[in-house]
Amino acid sequence: MSEIIIKAESIKKNYDASYALDGIDIEVLSGQILGLIGPNGAGKSTFLQSILGLIQTEGNLEVLGMDPRKDRHQLLKEVCSITDVAVLPKWMTVDQVLQYVDGVHPKFDLKKCLSILSKTDIKRSSKIKILSRGLVVQLHLSIVMAIDAKLLVLDEPTLGLDLVYRKEFYSQLIEDYYDGDRTILISTHQVEEIEGVLSDALFMNQGRVVMHDSMESINKKFLELRPNIDSIEKGRSLKPIHQRIELGREVLLKESIVIAVVVAETTLPPLLCPALTGSLIAITAPGRTILPLSIEVEKVTVSASFCSSEEFALEISYITSSSKNW
């Protein structure tokens, strides 16, 4: 049976007259990889800071059975985090940083860290100040991966990195760190990069939880809409739970409202045939977008899940009767 790692009830944090957190209620279980997703200012970082005991909040909060506001010193023996790579002292060498962590953290495995670093371009004699941001992030990840912690908290860990480093970061995280029992929290506004990594997602906006569910459930219940430029306002009027920009194009996440459904097995090429009349905005599958369309068809659509390597079941859902003008 899964252990409750984080339990938050009515968590609030206000700054002046506004709430950064406005009544957060969630439970996070052992083994989950939870993505905290939302725009800047949604409250993601503030919530992670509360979990780490860095700020005081209202409400009931338990992390690994402890109150981070009172038991932070004890809690940090079981929790690791990457919240800001700038915290590594730039005047120290890599080796000095490792020796320091080895001296202060009881669960740090220096040999394991050196083994991880041996797969990178990081030299132990290098000073932190000469390392690129990508290498600093790799160093930070190598350190936390060598600590036997139950909970790992990552706050925008790949911000500012190029695509290659971002992919390497998450690949290393899953292949070399995640063991099925550890719990990982990742905050990001680039959901498309980590959706294949996550087991669950929590969408936040204006300090509130908009939606919290498993990725499997989200892929079944929600649609990715990619309206053309002249249809963006109509897309926004559907009140999506999340918006992002991908390759210069707005992507909206919207709960599916199915009025009519047609299911058909087919291969990818026939999707482009005229038989699919209607205004097709996007076809999505678990963890990826099959067809980011600029195709003009007549109704709005929807989701797909793989049946085999080439075949998949296609659901075409008419969201509203007014969608015919898309």
3-state secondary structure labels for all residues of 201-230: EEEEECCEEEEEEEHHHHHHHEEEECCCHH
Domain spans, the chain: 4-206, 220-325
Question: Which architecture characterizes domain 4-206 according to CATH?
Answer: 3-Layer(aba) Sandwich (3.40)
Return the SS3 of 266: strand
Tell me the pairing of strands 249-255 and 222-225: antiparallel
Range of weakest confidence among 100-104, 224-228, 269-273: 269-273
Work out the widest C-alpha separation in the chain, in whole angstroms.
Answer: 67
| CA–CA distance, 268 with 304 (Å, rounded to integer) | 11
**What kind and span of H or E run contains 154?**
strand 151-155
Mean pLDDT over residues 109-115, rounded? 93
From the centroid of its chain, how far is CA 104?
30
Q: In what order do the strands lie in the sheet with 151-155?
A: 79-82, 151-155, 183-188, 33-37, 200-205, 208-214
CA distance 115 to 121: 12
* Helical pair 133-145 and 163-172, crossing angle rounded to 10 deg: 0
Cα–Cα distance measured from residue 153 to residue 80, given in angstroms and rounded to the nearest whole number: 6
Q: Which residues contact 302 (CB under 8 A, 6 or more apart)?
A: 223, 256, 282, 283, 284, 315, 316, 317
| % of the chain beyond a pLDDT of 70 | 74
Q: In this predicted structure, what is the pLDDT of residue 207?
A: 92
| pLDDT greater at residue 228 or residue 276 | 228
C-alpha radius of gyration, the chain, whole number: 22
Question: Among residues 132, 194, 128, 134, which one has the least CA distance to residue 159?
Answer: 134
Residue 255 vs residue 35, higher pLDDT: 35
Are residues 205 and 39 in contact, defined by beta-carbon separation less than 8 angstroms? Answer: yes
Between 110-117 and 94-104, two packed helices, what is the crossing angle to 10 degrees?
150
168-175 contacts: CB < 8 A, separation 24 or more? 168/138, 169/137, 169/138, 169/141, 170/194, 170/197, 172/116, 172/141, 172/145, 173/141, 173/145, 173/197
pLDDT of residue 85: 60
β-sheet bridge partners, residue 8: 26, 61
Residue pLDDT, tens place only, 274-307:
333 333 334 443 443 333 333 333 333 333 333 3
Give the pLDDT of residue 1: 67
Quote the percentage of the chain above a pLDDT of 90.
Answer: 35
Per-residue pLDDT, averaged over 229-258, amounts to 69
Looking at per-residue pLDDT, the higher value among 211 and 58 belongs to: 58
CA 177 to chain centre: 17
Position 184 scores a pLDDT of: 95
Closest CA to 140 of 170, 115, 118, 113: 113
| Average pLDDT value over all residues in the chain | 75
Place of tokens 């000469």: 130
Q: What is the pLDDT of residues 22-79, one digit of tens each?
A: 999 999 999 999 999 888 888 999 999 999 999 999 999 999 999 999 999 889 889 9
